[in-house]
Amino acid sequence: MVCSHSLLKRHGKIKPSIRGERADQDLSNSDDTSVAIVEKCTLATEHTAKVHFLENVTADSRAHQGIHPILALESHQESMAKLVEKAMRHLPASSGNSGEQTIPVGDTSRRRPDFISATRGPGMRSNLSVGLDTGKALSVAWQIPMVGVHHMQAHLLTPRLVSCLAEPTGASSGKTGTVSPQFPFLSILVSGGHSILVHSKSLTDHTILASSDDVAMGETLDKAAREILPPSLLQEAKNTMYGKVLEQFVFPNGKADFADYRPPKNRGEEVVKHQSPWGWSVTTPFANTRSLQLSFSSISSMVGKIVRNKADVTMAYDERLALGREAMRVCFEHLASRTIIALEALRPRVQGEDETVKTLVVSGGVAANKFLMHVLRSFLNVRGFEHIDIVAPPPSLCTDNAAMIGWAGIEMFEAGWASDLSCRALRKWTLDPQADDGGILGPSGWIRAGLM
């Protein structure tokens, strides 16, 4: 769940905006409580952004080797108010100008935000409600609007936040002046709870091209990690993001460990099995089809079977290393293969057509995996899409965080949207306006900003 605040400055006039929290929809990413303060400045056609505050509290579910929904809910309830209180001390100080809206924080006056953003869904409603209700309370107390944010929309918009940050968190420098990437672009959203391929045509118009019908890639990597990692590493893990621990285990030297990776040059090479020196192999899902579909459950199942077949024999370090690398390779090549199929389908029928996809956005927790980014870039280069840029947030903004919720709230508020205070958390909420629920703008509770 995330609570975030954002401050909005437009045309040289301060329009403080606070954005609220988000709670997650599934067991794989419902344990984070986060608050942020984000400020956007727009002068003429130039845009800059600043994250004044960003902090997460993650529920400790290591004893369960996975997210425990009750522990996560209790963590949200215990942490939310304290994080909000801490964040308020980082609101920009009042300038003292007459007419400026302020709020008292301790013995100082701080600029009152323009609005609150809170994650509305999709996710576990009990967890989401902790953040959403906090956002409503702040909206009433400060007499400002609230924006209920779609979690997955926030992920795919995060690179647009990064493009405006003068000093992005976790990155060396950022571009200022232009919010990018510009629509349309292709989005890969991969985390412990989601694996979807999205054609993003505008702020609220997103077509789901492919999704996982079983489990998400992040969950598969976490499950594979629990089988592959030596018990000592599992015990030393600081959280249940075992996929990240697996990456560090199999690629201790980073890019140097996969510098010799060569992608399949065509679909024929994709179906070739990679037999290991120990006699096992991991099959790539849908390798012999062009189905725009994602599936990852078979990969963790095969990994578990390989480990169990060792019976009483302890798997050697080299074999664990090889199995971990193979599980990642198969996951990432499966995703890359479907991405190529989607890009081929989106190729303009007429040369020079304006709707050409020029950017591939990769966001979500798994986007922090360097090998994934290497595989995607390699596939694009050998399959005729070397002109497509790949953009991803820095690692600190790939995983669930309040800054992305704040930014998504800013974009929706600038587009004229706010949420009625009667809005409720949504367990299921698609991005696609053609879906039964109408996509981002489909659920009831939207109102035009300024008409509240």
**Which amino acid does the sequence have at 91?**
L
What is the mean predicted confidence (pLDDT) over 127-147? 94
Cα 423 off chain centre by: 23
193 is a domain residue: yes
Contact 98, 1 (CB under 8 A): no
State whether 378 and 236 are in the same domain. Answer: yes
The tens digit of pLDDT for each residue in 191-200 reads 888 899 999 9
- What's the angle, vertex CA 285, arms to CA 283 and CA 288, rounded to 5? 95
In degrees and rounded to multiples of 5, residue 427 shows phi and psi of: -70, -45
pLDDT surpasses 60 at 175:
no
Same domain, 234 and 116: no
Around 221, how many Cα atoms within 13 Å sit in the side-chain half-sphere? 34
Closest CA to 363 of 321, 323, 315, 404: 404
Last residue of a domain, one of 393, 415, 439: 393
178-194 pLDDT, tens digit per residue, is: 899 999 999 999 988 88
Q: Which two tokens stand for residue 53?
A: 């505050």
Domain count, the chain: 2
Domain check: are 388 and 403 in the same one?
A: no
Domain contains 178: no
- Strand (E) or helix (H) holding 200: strand 195-200
pLDDT digits (tens, 9 = 90+) for 335-364: 999 999 999 999 876 555 556 899 999 999
pLDDT tier at 2 (50, 70, 90 boundaries)? very low
Q: What share of the chain has pLDDT > 70, as a percent?
A: 83
Give pLDDT, residue 65: 54
Note whether 153 and 276 are same-domain residues: no
pLDDT of residue 8: 35
d(CA 79, CA 76): 5
Task: Say whether pLDDT at 6 is over 50.
Answer: no
Question: Does residue 358 share a domain with residue 385?
Answer: yes
Q: What is the pLDDT of residue 195?
A: 95
Provide the token pair at 77: 């309830």
Q: In the listed set 357, 374, 393, which residue is the last one of a domain according to the structure? A: 393
Beta-bridge partner residues of 102: 111
pLDDT band for position 439 (cuts 50, 70, 90): very high
H/E element, 148: strand 146-150
What is the span of the domain harbouring residue 95? Answer: 3-164+399-448
242 and 262 in a single domain? The answer is yes
Only one residue has tokens 């020196």, namely 277
Assigned domain for 408 exists: yes
Which of 47-51, 68-72, 128-132, 377-381 has the weakest average pLDDT? 68-72
- Does the residue 349 lie in any domain? yes
pLDDT at residue number 10: 32
176 found inside a domain = no
Q: Is residue 324 part of a domain?
A: yes
Which of 340, 337, 333, 328 is closest to 388 using CA atoms?
A: 340
For position 75, what pLDDT does the model report?
Answer: 67
Section 388-408 average pLDDT: 94
pLDDT in tens, 8-66: 333 332 332 333 333 222 333 456 778 999 999 988 778 999 999 998 866 555 555 55
Q: Which domain CATH number covers 198? A: 3.30.420.40
The pLDDT value recorded for residue 168 is 56
Angle, helix 317-346 to helix 370-382, in steps of 10 degrees: 50
Q: What is the β-pairing status of strands 359-363 and 115-121?
A: unpaired
Average pLDDT over residues 122-143: 92
C-alpha distance from residue 186 to each of 21, 157, 166, 347, 398 (Å): 26, 11, 25, 12, 16
422 and 378 fall within a common domain: no
Average pLDDT over residues 420-433: 95
Clarify whether residues 103 and 25 are in a common domain.
yes
Q: Which residue has the tokens 């701080």?
A: 110
Write the pLDDT tens digit of every residue in 211-243. Answer: 998 999 999 999 999 999 998 888 887 776 789
Residue 98's pLDDT is: 76
The token duo for 11 is: 């045309």
**Predicted confidence (pLDDT) per residue in 144-156, tens digit:** 999 999 999 999 9
The answer to whether residue 21 sits within a structural domain is: yes
Residue 430 and residue 293 share a domain: no
| 309 or 99, greater pLDDT | 309
Among residues 353, 376, 393, the one where a domain terminates is 393
Judged against a pLDDT cut of 70, whether residue 171 lies above it is answered with: no
92 and 200: one domain? Answer: no
Q: Which region among 25-29, 55-59, 315-319, 329-333 has the lowest average model confidence (pLDDT)?
A: 25-29
Statement: the pTM of the whole predicted model exceeds 0.85: yes
* Inside any domain, residue 299: yes
What's residue 40's pLDDT?
Answer: 94
In the structure encoding, which two tokens stand for residue 41, read together?
């400045």
Average pLDDT, the chain: 86
Say yes or no: 234 and 285 in one domain. yes
Same domain? 59 vs 194: no
